[in-house]
Amino acid sequence: MEVSINKTEDKTLVKVNGRIDTTTAESFNEAIAPLMAPEAGAIEIDCSELDYTSSQGLRIFLMLQKAVSANKGSLVLTNMQAPVKEVFDITGFSSIIKII
Amino acid sequence: MNATRSLSTKLSLFILALTSVVFILTIGAAAISSHILITDEATKSLENLRDATIKDMEKTLQNIEFAVEASSWLVNENKDKEEYLYHITDRIVSENENIVGSAIAFCPGYFRKEHWFAPFSYVDESSAQVKSKQLGSEDYDYFDMEWYKIPAETGQPHWSEPYFDEGGGGYLMCTYSFPVYDENYGLYAVMTADITLKFIEDVLESIKPYEHSVVSLMTRNGNYLKTRTNVEKYGTSIFATLDSTSRAKNYNVNAVVEAIMSGKKGHMQYAADGHLCFAVYGPLSNGWLATIATDYKDVHERSSIMRNLLSIIGIFGLIIMFLISFFTIRKMTKPLTQISEAAEGIAGGNFNMALPEIDTDDEVRQLRDSFEMMQNSLQEYIDDLKTTTAANERFESELSIASKIQMSMLPKEFPNHDGIDLHAILKPAREVGGDLYDFFVRDNCLYFVIGDVSGKSVPAALIMSIARCAFRICSHYEQEPKYIVTGMNRSLCSRNDAQMFVTFFLGKLDLGTGLLKYCNAGHNPIIVNGRYLDVKPNLALGLISDFTYEQQEVQLDGGACITLYTDGITEAEREDKQQFGEDALLKCTAETGGLSAEKSNELIIDKLLAFTKGNVQNDDITIMTIKINK
């Protein structure tokens, strides 16, 4: 699991590679912790290389979403692979996190 | 103990061996050099002795020669006075103690036309008086005798070979002959002086450089003038001696005889009768040959004494050195033995073994200190380990109790109802887990749920028990699934700081009509008759408290099969990260027709385990099967 964060003028571009599961969830949490700060602004997470997420991963996405909402920023997940998208759909996370 | 003993023995023996080699080499070198030195010195001293002997002997012989020569002019003056001639010989004998006889042997017909005339004085053995007589006669024809013949022919003074003169003094003797000439340079007489070999023997006998030394004098023809032993009689020749020695044990004997006979000074080694000998030799002025023969054994007795003394001292030194090094090394390595014993004790679990006190500041001390440090570290480590182990054991026993508590929350008794066959299996990944299932029958309706808390183990287990209680409480007051779920969601949302959430499915089956009402909260859709049921996801519980959950319903017929599961089944992984998947699960459920709910669950779990092939179970697994009887 790898996370790269690029700040541009108007938004923060994040790319997540690999799997978020029991062993990598904590490091994923640490990697995206800066995005929960008030100055993060608009965040776009490219999920094209995200192969799998467990419920721990969902929980971290949820926490990020809550932080972003509290900071009046925005969060959008893009290019999600079908199996991952399915997890978001089944759990109803698609209704609280914007996925395009 | 044995190891240390053998170490000190080994080291001591090693030092001993090394020192012995050095010692033997030193002794060898000392022996060789002292041998050479002693041989050289012996050679020099024997040569000096030879020279002194030769000089001494020459002086004695010259005195004799001089006594004769000095009297020759008296003969010349008084050659016709018979009485005076006797007086001359008498004086020569009485005034020279070494001369035992003296004669003036006239040439034939010279003195008063006598054929033989030789006035002769000699020491009479019985009376020890000097007596005189006329020597020449038909019985004693001296003209053919060596002492007369050779000087007469050569005109030179001459020392004769040793001979036993029966007509003379009765002694084994040697004669010095001196030719006397008249004014016309005509030879008219030969004057002689006789010496006994006894006299020469006495002189040579007094010379004794070594115990077995033989000092001998020979004429130029090799006849002994003196010999020390009685075996070799007076007058025997060196060549006879040569023949009598055992040739097998000889070495250089011919060469040494040849060298002596050459009449030159020198020295040479030879072996006779197995004895290594050493000869120094040289000529006298009259051509006689002096030889000092010495047995090497005598010469090297002194060097062998020195060598033996050195060897004894060395052997004692080696023994003392071995003992000292053995005990010193043993003393030095004794702490090692104690440390080794301490190590054995520690290996056996006793960390309080006493270590030896060491006064010296060396490697053994360092070893001891390091060992003490290790001992202390081990003690601390073991103490830590005991504490940790105790804590772990406590934790494990607590977890085990927690597991029992959690499992006891799940219904074990499956409903014994005519209309349905229900069975569920829950396998947590750890001791406790976040999956749950529950069911009960009320008012001829079967309420059944399945849920999955995000995460695993203890945190998930805590939420799971909350969720299970929330279900039981909410279902007590509400009949419609959506209200029960909404109530549970509100309950779980309050004080959920950890952002844990629960996916949850609730079904309510009217056992009379077969109508299934259901509400999903973000859980995997359920399978009905081998197909996924159309299920709205809504949202997992615990996220948004005012979320509106929608309820659905479907009419089921007798013989319908409902399968509920958690994602621990579909996301179970093989070693290559390949997941079991929904298709495989659908295929399994299709194969369960005709089987009881319990057998169906077992079949699915068996297929799943066959797929993962013993790979570690990552997530809690739950499966529930409900079969509606016809």
Q: What is the pLDDT of residues B258-275, one digit of tens each?
A: 888 888 888 888 887 777
CB count within 10 Å of CB B241 equals: 18
CATH value at residue B261: 3.30.450
Q: What is the pLDDT of residue B110?
A: 84
Q: What is the pLDDT of residue B226?
A: 60
Q: What is the pLDDT of residue A22?
A: 80
Q: Do A91 and B503 touch (CB under 8 A)?
A: yes
Q: How would residue B231 be classed by pLDDT, with cut points 50, 70 and 90?
A: very low
Domain that holds residue B486: 413-628
Local structure of B142: helix, strand or coil:
helix
Looking at chain A, how many residues does it have? 100
- Whether B166 and B214 map to the same domain: the answer is no
> How far A67 CA lies from chain B's nearest CA (Å)?
12
- Whether B596 and B525 map to the same domain: the answer is yes
Q: What is the mean pLDDT of residues A43-50?
A: 93
In a domain, B299, yes or no: no
CB contacts of B453 in chain A (<8 Å) are 55
Sort strands B266-272 and B275-283 into parallel, antiparallel or unpaired: antiparallel
In a domain, B189, yes or no: yes
In a domain, B309, yes or no: no
In a domain, B263, yes or no: yes
Q: How would residue B162 be classed by pLDDT, with cut points 50, 70 and 90?
A: confident
Q: Do B499 and A93 touch (CB under 8 A)?
A: no
**Strongest mean pLDDT among B121-135, B258-272, B466-480:** B466-480
Euclidean distance between CA atoms B41 and B60, whole angstroms: 28
pLDDT > 90? residue B609 = yes
- Helix ranges (H only) for B443-559 are 457-477, 481-493
Binding-face residues of A in 11-70 toward B, CB within 8 A: 19, 21-22, 54-56, 58-59, 62-63, 66
CB contacts of B573 in chain A (<8 Å) are none
- Whether B444 and B586 map to the same domain: the answer is yes
Q: What's the whole-model pTM score?
A: 0.54
- Whether B61 and B190 map to the same domain: the answer is yes
Task: Tell me which of A22, A24, A55, A94 to substitute to probe the interface with B (most B C-beta atoms closer than 10 Å).
Answer: A55
CB contacts of B567 in chain A (<8 Å) are 55, 87
B52-111 pLDDT, tens digit each: 888 988 888 899 999 899 888 888 888 888 888 899 999 999 888 888 889 999 988 888
Q: What is the pLDDT of residue B184?
A: 81
Q: Name the one residue in this structure whose structure tokens are 């079969």.
A: B627
Q: Do A90 and B522 touch (CB under 8 A)?
A: yes
Q: Write the DSSP string, B174-234.
A: EEEEEEEE-TTS-EEEEEEEEEEHHHHHHHHHT--SSTT-EEEEE-TTSBEEE-SSSSS-T
Q: What is the pLDDT of residue B244?
A: 53
Euclidean distance between CA atoms A96 and B499, whole angstroms: 14
Torsion angle, alpha carbons of B378, B380, B383, B387, to 10? -130
B378-431 pLDDT, tens digit each: 888 888 999 999 999 998 888 888 888 888 889 988 887 888 999 999 998 888
pLDDT > 70? residue B621 = yes
CATH value at residue A93: 3.30.750.24
Euclidean distance between CA atoms B97 and B85, whole angstroms: 20
Q: What is the pLDDT of residue B580?
A: 92
- Whether B148 and B213 map to the same domain: the answer is no
- Whether B119 and B243 map to the same domain: the answer is no
Dihedral of alpha carbons B99, B101, B106, B108, sign: negative
B510-535 pLDDT, tens digit each: 999 999 999 999 999 999 998 999 99
Q: Do B522 and A21 touch (CB under 8 A)?
A: no
Average pLDDT, chain B: 85
- Whether B215 and B168 map to the same domain: the answer is no
- Whether B193 and B211 map to the same domain: the answer is no
Q: What is the pLDDT of residue B361?
A: 79
For A36, the token pair is 């929960």
Cα distances (angstroms) measured from residue B223 to each of B197, B202, B245, B473: 12, 18, 17, 153
CATH value at residue B96: 3.30.450.20
Q: Which of A56, A90, A95 sits opposite B455 (nearest CB)?
A: A56
In a domain, B358, yes or no: no
Question: Does the CB of A97 have a partner CB in chain B at under 8 Å?
Answer: no
Q: What is the pLDDT of residue B235?
A: 43
Q: What is the pLDDT of residue B245?
A: 52
Task: Tell me which of B452, B503, B535, B565 to substitute to probe the interface with A (most A C-beta atoms closer than 10 Å).
Answer: B503
pLDDT > 60? residue B242 = no
> How far A39 CA lies from chain B's nearest CA (Å)?
22
Q: What is the pLDDT of residue B553?
A: 95
Domain tally, chain B: 3
Euclidean distance between CA atoms B526 and B567, whole angstroms: 11
**Contact present, B498 and B459 (Cβ < 8 Å):** yes
CATH value at residue B618: 3.60.40.10
Q: Which of B453, B500, B540 sits opposite A91 (nearest CB)?
A: B540
Q: What is the pLDDT of residue B228?
A: 43
Task: Tell me which of A28, A62, A68, A91 to substitute to probe the interface with B (most B C-beta atoms closer than 10 Å).
Answer: A91
- Whether B278 and B191 map to the same domain: the answer is no
Q: How would residue B508 be classed by pLDDT, with cut points 50, 70 and 90?
A: very high
pLDDT > 80? residue B240 = no
**Strongest mean pLDDT among B4-13, B211-220, B332-341, B523-532:** B523-532
Q: Do A90 and B524 touch (CB under 8 A)?
A: yes
Q: How would residue B233 be classed by pLDDT, with cut points 50, 70 and 90?
A: very low
> How far B525 CA lies from chain A's nearest CA (Å)?
8
Q: Do A89 and B540 touch (CB under 8 A)?
A: no
Q: What is the pLDDT of residue B435?
A: 92
> In terms of CA atoms, which chain B residue is nearest residue A61?
B499
Q: Do B452 and A55 touch (CB under 8 A)?
A: yes
Q: B125 Cβ partners below 8 Å, 6+ apart?
A: B169, B170, B171
Q: How would residue B177 be classed by pLDDT, with cut points 50, 70 and 90?
A: very high
Local structure of B387: helix, strand or coil:
helix
Q: Do A92 and B618 touch (CB under 8 A)?
A: no
Q: What is the pLDDT of residue B232?
A: 42
B552-579 pLDDT, tens digit each: 999 999 889 999 999 999 989 898 888 8
- Whether B249 and B111 map to the same domain: the answer is no
The residue with greater pLDDT, B623 or A22, is B623
- Whether B432 and B477 map to the same domain: the answer is yes
A57-81 pLDDT, tens digit each: 898 998 899 889 888 889 999 999 9
Domain tally, chain A: 1
pLDDT > 90? residue B179 = yes
Q: Which of B501, B537, B543 sits opposite A90 (nearest CB)?
A: B537
CA-based diameter of chain B, in Å?
201
Q: What is the pLDDT of residue A1?
A: 87
Position B434, amino acid: G
Q: What is the pLDDT of residue B370?
A: 87
The separation between the first and the last C-alpha atoms of chain B, rounded to the nearest angstrom, is 87
Q: How would residue B190 be classed by pLDDT, with cut points 50, 70 and 90?
A: very high
Domain that holds residue A94: 2-99
Q: Which of B246, B271, B293 is the last residue of a domain?
A: B293
Q: Do B571 and A54 touch (CB under 8 A)?
A: yes
In a domain, B87, yes or no: yes
pLDDT > 80? residue B324 = yes
Q: What is the pLDDT of residue B287?
A: 85
CB contacts of B618 in chain A (<8 Å) are 21-22
- Whether B242 and B193 map to the same domain: the answer is no
Q: Which of B453, B524, B539 sits opposite A95 (nearest CB)?
A: B539
Q: What is the mean pLDDT of residues B238-253?
A: 60
In a domain, B9, yes or no: yes
